[in-house]
Protein backbone atom coordinates (compact mmCIF):
# COMPACT_ATOMS: atom_id res chain seq x y z
CA UNK A 1 0.00 0.00 0.00
CA UNK A 2 1.20 3.51 -0.78
CA UNK A 3 0.09 6.70 0.98
CA UNK A 4 -2.98 7.43 -1.21
CA UNK A 5 -4.08 3.80 -0.98
CA UNK A 6 -3.77 3.78 2.80
CA UNK A 7 -5.60 7.11 3.02
CA UNK A 8 -8.43 5.74 0.90
CA UNK A 9 -8.60 2.57 2.97
CA UNK A 10 -8.76 4.51 6.25
CA UNK A 11 -11.33 7.00 4.99
CA UNK A 12 -13.94 4.37 4.36
CA UNK A 13 -13.45 2.45 7.65
CA UNK A 14 -16.29 2.81 10.14
CA UNK A 15 -15.52 3.95 13.67
CA UNK A 16 -16.14 0.89 15.89
CA UNK A 17 -19.89 0.51 16.51
CA UNK A 18 -20.87 3.68 14.70
CA UNK A 19 -22.52 4.23 11.34
CA UNK A 20 -20.00 6.94 10.46
CA UNK A 21 -16.69 6.55 8.66
CA UNK A 22 -13.41 7.94 9.93
CA UNK A 23 -13.58 10.50 7.14
CA UNK A 24 -17.09 11.61 8.07
CA UNK A 25 -15.95 12.06 11.66
CA UNK A 26 -12.88 14.07 10.54
CA UNK A 27 -10.61 11.82 12.54
CA UNK A 28 -7.76 11.47 10.04
CA UNK A 29 -4.71 13.72 10.05
CA UNK A 30 -1.47 13.22 8.12
CA UNK A 31 -0.93 9.76 6.65
CA UNK A 32 2.42 8.59 5.26
CA UNK A 33 3.67 5.31 3.91
CA UNK A 34 7.37 4.77 3.41
CA UNK A 35 8.10 1.31 2.06
CA UNK A 36 6.85 -1.01 4.85
CA UNK A 37 6.49 1.73 7.47
CA UNK A 38 3.20 3.59 7.93
CA UNK A 39 2.52 6.62 10.07
CA UNK A 40 -1.03 7.66 10.88
CA UNK A 41 -2.10 10.77 12.73
CA UNK A 42 -5.50 10.63 14.44
CA UNK A 43 -7.43 13.75 15.40
CA UNK A 44 -9.33 12.11 18.23
CA UNK A 45 -11.01 14.21 20.92
CA UNK A 46 -9.80 12.35 23.97
CA UNK A 47 -7.46 9.63 25.18
CA UNK A 48 -10.22 7.08 25.33
CA UNK A 49 -11.26 7.35 21.71
CA UNK A 50 -7.60 7.50 20.65
CA UNK A 51 -6.97 4.18 22.43
CA UNK A 52 -10.02 2.57 20.83
CA UNK A 53 -9.15 3.72 17.35
CA UNK A 54 -5.47 2.85 17.69
CA UNK A 55 -6.30 -0.71 18.74
CA UNK A 56 -8.83 -1.02 15.95
CA UNK A 57 -6.39 0.22 13.27
CA UNK A 58 -3.59 -2.03 14.52
CA UNK A 59 -5.91 -4.96 14.15
CA UNK A 60 -6.94 -3.85 10.64
CA UNK A 61 -3.44 -3.08 9.38
CA UNK A 62 -0.92 -5.29 11.14
CA UNK A 63 -0.52 -7.59 8.17
CA UNK A 64 0.24 -4.79 5.74
CA UNK A 65 3.21 -3.04 7.35
CA UNK A 66 6.34 -4.02 9.27
CA UNK A 67 6.06 -0.96 11.47
CA UNK A 68 2.94 1.00 12.14
CA UNK A 69 3.13 4.27 14.02
CA UNK A 70 -0.16 5.70 15.22
CA UNK A 71 -0.16 8.97 17.09
CA UNK A 72 -2.57 11.71 18.03
CA UNK A 73 -2.23 15.39 17.35
CA UNK A 74 -2.67 17.21 20.63
CA UNK A 75 -2.77 20.71 19.15
CA UNK A 76 -5.68 19.71 16.89
CA UNK A 77 -7.46 18.10 19.82
CA UNK A 78 -8.82 21.31 21.28
CA UNK A 79 -10.48 22.62 18.17
CA UNK A 80 -11.49 19.39 16.56
CA UNK A 81 -14.60 19.36 14.43
CA UNK A 82 -16.98 16.58 15.26
CA UNK A 83 -18.57 16.19 11.88
CA UNK A 84 -21.95 17.19 10.63
CA UNK A 85 -24.93 15.38 12.08
CA UNK A 86 -27.48 17.35 10.09
CA UNK A 87 -29.18 14.07 9.38
CA UNK A 88 -28.58 11.84 12.38
CA UNK A 89 -30.20 8.45 12.72
CA UNK A 90 -33.36 8.28 14.73
CA UNK A 91 -33.18 5.38 17.14
CA UNK A 92 -35.98 6.85 19.24
CA UNK A 93 -38.88 7.61 16.88
CA UNK A 94 -41.24 7.21 19.87
CA UNK A 95 -39.88 10.43 21.43
CA UNK A 96 -41.20 13.75 20.13
CA UNK A 97 -38.31 15.66 21.73
CA UNK A 98 -34.89 14.66 22.98
CA UNK A 99 -33.11 16.84 25.53
CA UNK A 100 -29.45 16.14 26.33
CA UNK A 101 -28.29 17.46 29.70
CA UNK A 102 -24.56 17.88 29.46
CA UNK A 103 -21.50 19.72 30.76
CA UNK A 104 -17.84 19.98 30.04
CA UNK A 105 -16.89 18.82 33.54
CA UNK A 106 -17.90 16.26 36.11
CA UNK A 107 -19.70 16.89 39.35
CA UNK A 108 -21.45 20.12 38.38
CA UNK A 109 -24.94 18.68 38.93
CA UNK A 110 -26.00 17.25 35.54
CA UNK A 111 -27.74 14.23 37.04
CA UNK A 112 -29.50 16.33 39.68
CA UNK A 113 -30.60 18.86 37.06
CA UNK A 114 -31.65 16.09 34.62
CA UNK A 115 -33.99 14.32 37.01
CA UNK A 116 -35.52 17.50 38.36
CA UNK A 117 -36.12 19.01 34.92
CA UNK A 118 -37.63 15.70 33.82
CA UNK A 119 -39.95 15.71 36.87
CA UNK A 120 -40.91 19.32 36.24
CA UNK A 121 -41.90 18.38 32.66
CA UNK A 122 -43.84 15.33 33.89
CA UNK A 123 -45.72 17.53 36.38
CA UNK A 124 -46.99 19.52 33.40
CA UNK A 125 -48.62 16.36 32.09
CA UNK A 126 -46.01 15.30 29.55
CA UNK A 127 -44.89 11.69 29.09
CA UNK A 128 -41.24 11.80 30.05
CA UNK A 129 -38.46 9.22 29.84
CA UNK A 130 -35.12 9.66 31.62
CA UNK A 131 -32.14 7.84 30.16
CA UNK A 132 -29.00 7.61 32.29
CA UNK A 133 -26.26 7.74 29.64
CA UNK A 134 -23.52 7.88 32.27
CA UNK A 135 -22.61 4.23 31.94
CA UNK A 136 -19.51 4.47 34.14
CA UNK A 137 -21.10 6.52 36.93
CA UNK A 138 -24.83 5.88 36.77
CA UNK A 139 -26.55 7.98 39.44
CA UNK A 140 -30.14 8.19 38.24
CA UNK A 141 -31.38 5.05 40.08
CA UNK A 142 -30.22 6.45 43.42
CA UNK A 143 -31.59 9.91 42.68
CA UNK A 144 -34.95 8.46 41.64
CA UNK A 145 -35.12 5.91 44.48
CA UNK A 146 -35.20 3.01 42.02
CA UNK A 147 -31.79 1.59 42.91
CA UNK A 148 -33.10 -1.64 44.36
CA UNK A 149 -34.89 -2.50 41.13
CA UNK A 150 -33.39 -4.90 38.61
CA UNK A 151 -34.06 -5.22 34.93
CA UNK A 152 -37.24 -7.00 33.76
CA UNK A 153 -38.45 -8.00 30.29
CA UNK A 154 -41.96 -7.91 28.82
CA UNK A 155 -43.56 -10.48 26.47
CA UNK A 156 -42.13 -8.68 23.43
CA UNK A 157 -38.62 -9.14 24.78
CA UNK A 158 -38.32 -5.45 25.56
CA UNK A 159 -36.74 -4.15 28.76
CA UNK A 160 -39.28 -2.58 31.09
CA UNK A 161 -38.13 0.81 32.39
CA UNK A 162 -38.37 1.59 36.11
CA UNK A 163 -41.01 4.15 37.02
CA UNK A 164 -41.07 6.75 39.75
CA UNK A 165 -42.12 10.40 40.12
CA UNK A 166 -44.08 10.08 36.86
CA UNK A 167 -40.92 9.21 34.86
CA UNK A 168 -39.86 6.13 32.93
CA UNK A 169 -36.25 5.50 33.84
CA UNK A 170 -33.46 3.42 32.30
CA UNK A 171 -29.89 3.04 33.51
CA UNK A 172 -27.11 0.47 33.23
CA UNK A 173 -27.16 0.33 37.03
CA UNK A 174 -30.41 -1.67 36.68
CA UNK A 175 -28.62 -4.31 34.63
CA UNK A 176 -25.68 -5.03 36.93
CA UNK A 177 -25.92 -7.62 39.76
CA UNK A 178 -25.81 -4.87 42.33
CA UNK A 179 -26.43 -1.16 41.90
CA UNK A 180 -22.83 -0.28 42.69
CA UNK A 181 -21.12 -3.02 40.63
CA UNK A 182 -18.43 -1.15 38.69
CA UNK A 183 -18.57 -1.38 34.93
CA UNK A 184 -15.38 -2.26 33.16
CA UNK A 185 -16.70 -2.04 29.63
CA UNK A 186 -14.67 -0.63 26.83
CA UNK A 187 -16.23 2.50 25.46
CA UNK A 188 -17.43 0.77 22.29
CA UNK A 189 -19.43 -1.72 24.40
CA UNK A 190 -20.87 1.10 26.48
CA UNK A 191 -22.00 2.79 23.27
CA UNK A 192 -23.73 -0.40 22.10
CA UNK A 193 -25.51 -0.73 25.46
CA UNK A 194 -26.90 2.77 25.13
CA UNK A 195 -28.12 2.08 21.63
CA UNK A 196 -29.90 -0.97 23.02
CA UNK A 197 -31.49 1.23 25.68
CA UNK A 198 -32.84 3.44 22.91
CA UNK A 199 -34.14 0.61 20.78
CA UNK A 200 -35.12 -2.24 23.09
CA UNK A 201 -36.76 -0.50 26.02
CA UNK A 202 -40.57 -0.31 26.29
CA UNK A 203 -40.60 3.47 26.60
CA UNK A 204 -44.05 3.92 24.99
CA UNK A 205 -44.76 7.27 23.32
CA UNK A 206 -42.78 10.03 24.95
CA UNK A 207 -43.18 13.78 24.71
CA UNK A 208 -39.65 14.17 26.09
CA UNK A 209 -36.70 11.85 26.40
CA UNK A 210 -34.26 13.52 28.80
CA UNK A 211 -30.71 12.16 28.65
CA UNK A 212 -28.31 12.53 31.57
CA UNK A 213 -24.95 12.62 29.80
CA UNK A 214 -21.61 11.61 31.25
CA UNK A 215 -19.12 14.44 31.80
CA UNK A 216 -17.02 15.68 28.91
CA UNK A 217 -17.08 15.58 25.15
CA UNK A 218 -16.30 11.98 24.30
CA UNK A 219 -17.68 9.00 22.42
CA UNK A 220 -21.01 8.83 24.25
CA UNK A 221 -21.92 12.44 23.46
CA UNK A 222 -20.85 11.99 19.87
CA UNK A 223 -22.80 8.75 19.48
CA UNK A 224 -25.95 10.15 21.02
CA UNK A 225 -25.81 13.08 18.61
CA UNK A 226 -25.38 10.71 15.70
CA UNK A 227 -27.97 8.19 16.68
CA UNK A 228 -30.68 10.63 17.78
CA UNK A 229 -32.06 13.89 16.46
CA UNK A 230 -31.35 15.80 19.71
CA UNK A 231 -33.87 18.62 19.91
CA UNK A 232 -31.75 20.63 22.31
CA UNK A 233 -28.83 20.43 24.71
CA UNK A 234 -28.92 21.96 28.18
CA UNK A 235 -25.46 22.87 29.44
CA UNK A 236 -24.99 22.70 33.20
CA UNK A 237 -22.14 24.61 34.78
CA UNK A 238 -21.07 26.00 38.14
CA UNK A 239 -19.86 29.59 38.55
CA UNK A 240 -16.24 28.65 39.13
CA UNK A 241 -15.83 26.65 35.96
CA UNK A 242 -17.73 28.87 33.55
CA UNK A 243 -14.56 30.44 32.26
CA UNK A 244 -12.77 27.16 31.68
CA UNK A 245 -11.91 25.44 28.42
CA UNK A 246 -14.15 22.52 29.34
CA UNK A 247 -17.27 24.62 29.03
CA UNK A 248 -16.11 26.15 25.75
CA UNK A 249 -15.28 22.71 24.41
CA UNK A 250 -18.76 21.40 25.28
CA UNK A 251 -20.39 24.40 23.59
CA UNK A 252 -18.17 24.04 20.50
CA UNK A 253 -18.91 20.33 20.25
CA UNK A 254 -22.67 20.81 20.14
CA UNK A 255 -22.30 23.73 17.74
CA UNK A 256 -20.08 21.63 15.50
CA UNK A 257 -22.44 18.72 15.33
CA UNK A 258 -25.42 20.96 14.72
CA UNK A 259 -27.32 20.35 17.98
CA UNK A 260 -29.20 23.47 19.14
CA UNK A 261 -28.40 24.72 22.62
CA UNK A 262 -31.52 25.29 24.71
CA UNK A 263 -29.35 27.21 27.14
CA UNK A 264 -27.14 27.30 30.19
CA UNK A 265 -28.11 26.35 33.74
CA UNK A 266 -25.86 27.73 36.47
CA UNK A 267 -25.97 25.21 39.31
CA UNK A 268 -24.59 25.72 42.84
CA UNK A 269 -24.85 29.35 41.89
CA UNK A 270 -24.97 31.04 45.30
CA UNK A 271 -25.55 30.17 48.94
CA UNK A 272 -28.13 31.66 51.26
CA UNK A 273 -27.28 31.08 54.91
CA UNK A 274 -30.26 29.31 56.44
CA UNK A 275 -29.98 31.28 59.72
CA UNK A 276 -29.17 34.83 58.59
CA UNK A 277 -30.62 34.62 55.04
CA UNK A 278 -27.51 36.44 53.84
CA UNK A 279 -26.54 35.57 50.26
CA UNK A 280 -22.97 34.52 49.59
CA UNK A 281 -21.64 34.35 46.05
CA UNK A 282 -19.12 31.72 47.01
CA UNK A 283 -17.80 31.20 43.51
CA UNK A 284 -18.37 34.75 42.21
CA UNK A 285 -21.42 35.87 40.34
CA UNK A 286 -22.67 36.38 36.81
CA UNK A 287 -20.40 33.74 35.25
CA UNK A 288 -23.19 31.72 33.68
CA UNK A 289 -24.73 34.81 32.14
CA UNK A 290 -21.36 35.93 30.81
CA UNK A 291 -20.76 32.63 29.05
CA UNK A 292 -24.31 32.68 27.70
CA UNK A 293 -23.60 36.09 26.17
CA UNK A 294 -20.21 35.03 24.84
CA UNK A 295 -21.68 32.11 22.92
CA UNK A 296 -25.09 33.68 22.20
CA UNK A 297 -26.90 30.98 24.16
CA UNK A 298 -29.93 31.65 26.39
CA UNK A 299 -29.35 31.73 30.15
CA UNK A 300 -32.03 29.45 31.58
CA UNK A 301 -31.60 30.13 35.26
CA UNK A 302 -29.60 29.64 38.43
CA UNK A 303 -30.01 27.09 41.21
CA UNK A 304 -28.44 27.89 44.58
CA UNK A 305 -26.33 25.46 46.55
CA UNK A 306 -28.51 24.11 49.35
CA UNK A 307 -27.74 21.40 51.84
CA UNK A 308 -31.27 20.05 51.57
CA UNK A 309 -30.93 19.63 47.78
CA UNK A 310 -27.98 17.33 48.33
CA UNK A 311 -29.44 15.50 51.29
CA UNK A 312 -32.82 14.91 49.63
CA UNK A 313 -31.14 13.89 46.35
CA UNK A 314 -28.99 11.34 48.19
CA UNK A 315 -32.13 9.89 49.74
CA UNK A 316 -33.82 9.59 46.34
CA UNK A 317 -36.26 12.41 47.05
CA UNK A 318 -35.90 14.82 44.12
CA UNK A 319 -36.55 18.45 45.13
CA UNK A 320 -38.75 19.09 42.06
CA UNK A 321 -41.16 16.45 43.38
CA UNK A 322 -40.76 16.53 47.16
CA UNK A 323 -38.81 19.72 47.94
CA UNK A 324 -39.89 23.13 49.18
CA UNK A 325 -42.02 25.48 47.08
CA UNK A 326 -38.89 27.52 46.27
CA UNK A 327 -36.94 24.44 45.19
CA UNK A 328 -39.72 23.30 42.87
CA UNK A 329 -39.80 26.83 41.45
CA UNK A 330 -36.07 26.75 40.46
CA UNK A 331 -36.65 23.79 38.18
CA UNK A 332 -40.09 24.86 36.96
CA UNK A 333 -38.66 28.28 35.96
CA UNK A 334 -35.82 26.64 34.05
CA UNK A 335 -38.29 24.43 32.17
CA UNK A 336 -40.36 27.51 31.32
CA UNK A 337 -37.27 29.32 29.96
CA UNK A 338 -36.22 26.19 28.08
CA UNK A 339 -39.62 25.90 26.40
CA UNK A 340 -39.36 29.57 25.40
CA UNK A 341 -35.89 29.14 23.95
CA UNK A 342 -36.62 26.08 21.78
CA UNK A 343 -39.66 25.13 19.75
CA UNK A 344 -40.57 21.66 20.91
CA UNK A 345 -42.84 19.29 19.06
CA UNK A 346 -46.12 18.66 20.83
CA UNK A 347 -48.30 15.71 20.05
CA UNK A 348 -51.85 16.60 19.16
N1 LIG B 1 -27.90 22.86 43.81
C2 LIG B 1 -27.30 21.96 44.58
N3 LIG B 1 -27.13 22.16 45.92
C4 LIG B 1 -26.49 21.25 46.69
N5 LIG B 1 -25.95 20.12 46.24
C6 LIG B 1 -26.07 19.86 44.92
C7 LIG B 1 -26.74 20.75 44.02
N8 LIG B 1 -26.71 20.21 42.77
C9 LIG B 1 -26.05 19.04 42.88
N10 LIG B 1 -25.66 18.84 44.17
C11 LIG B 1 -24.89 17.69 44.71
O12 LIG B 1 -23.61 17.70 44.06
C13 LIG B 1 -23.17 16.38 43.81
C14 LIG B 1 -22.89 16.20 42.31
O15 LIG B 1 -24.13 16.33 41.60
P16 LIG B 1 -24.47 15.40 40.35
O17 LIG B 1 -24.21 13.97 40.65
O18 LIG B 1 -25.83 15.79 39.90
O19 LIG B 1 -23.38 15.95 39.33
P20 LIG B 1 -22.97 15.39 37.89
O21 LIG B 1 -22.55 16.56 37.07
O22 LIG B 1 -24.06 14.53 37.35
O23 LIG B 1 -21.72 14.51 38.27
P24 LIG B 1 -20.96 13.43 37.33
O25 LIG B 1 -20.14 14.23 36.38
O26 LIG B 1 -20.17 12.63 38.30
O27 LIG B 1 -22.04 12.65 36.60
C28 LIG B 1 -24.27 15.47 44.34
O29 LIG B 1 -23.92 15.08 45.64
C30 LIG B 1 -25.50 16.37 44.38
O31 LIG B 1 -26.44 15.98 45.37
MG1 LIG C 1 -24.02 12.51 36.73
- In angstroms, how far apart are the furthest CA atoms of the chain? 76
Confidence of residue 285 (pLDDT cuts 50, 70, 90): confident
Average pLDDT value for residue range 10-35: 86
Q: Classify the C-alpha dihedral 80-84-90-94 as positive or negative.
A: positive
CA distance from start to end of the chain: 58
How many Å lie between the centroid of ligand 1 and the Cα of residue 141? 14
- The predicted model scores a pTM of 0.78
How many Å lie between the centroid of ligand 2 and the Cα of residue 59? 34
Least confident of 37-46, 53-62, 165-174, 242-251: 242-251
45 Cβ inside 6 Å of ligand 1 = no
Entry field: residues in the chain? 348
Angle between helices 219-227 and 245-256 (to 10 degrees): 30
129 touches 161 (CB < 8 A): yes
Confidence of residue 191 (pLDDT cuts 50, 70, 90): confident
pLDDT value, residue 78: 42
Pocket test for ligand 1, best of 111, 173, 211, 328 (most atoms within 8 A of CB): 111
Average pLDDT value for residue range 6-35: 87
Please name the residue whose Cα sits nearest to atom 16 of ligand 1: 109
Write down all domains in the chain, each with its CATH number in brackets.
3-75 (3.30.300.130), 95-341 (3.40.50.300)
b/e string for 106-129 if b means 16 or more Cβ within 10 A?
Answer: eebbbbbbbbbbbbbbbbeebbbb
Please name the residue whose Cα sits nearest to atom 12 of ligand 1: 109
Separation of alpha carbons 307 and 313, rounded Å: 10
* Residue that wins the pLDDT comparison between 346 and 168: 168
The residues with which 271 forms a beta bridge, in sequence order, are 280
pLDDT value, residue 236: 93
Confidence of residue 73 (pLDDT cuts 50, 70, 90): confident
Least confident of 138-142, 180-184, 200-204, 214-218: 180-184
Q: Chain-centre distance of CA 111, in angstroms? A: 10
Q: How far, in Å, are 38, 87, 173, 211 from residue 194 at the CA level?
A: 35, 20, 12, 11
Number of the ligand closest to the Cα of 106: 1
Separation of alpha carbons 310 and 161, rounded Å: 25
Is pLDDT of 160 > 50? yes
pLDDT value, residue 80: 45
Amino acid sequence: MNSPELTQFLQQLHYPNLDKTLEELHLLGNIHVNDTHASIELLTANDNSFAILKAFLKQQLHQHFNTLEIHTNTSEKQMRHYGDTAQPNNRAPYASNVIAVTSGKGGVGKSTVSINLAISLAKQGYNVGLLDADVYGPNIPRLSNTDTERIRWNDNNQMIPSENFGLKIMSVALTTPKNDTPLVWRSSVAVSALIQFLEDVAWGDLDFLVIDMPPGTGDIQLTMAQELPITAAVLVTTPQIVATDDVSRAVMMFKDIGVPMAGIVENMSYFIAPDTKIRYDIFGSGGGERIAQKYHIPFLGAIPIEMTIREASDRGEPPAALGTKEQKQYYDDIVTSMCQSITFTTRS
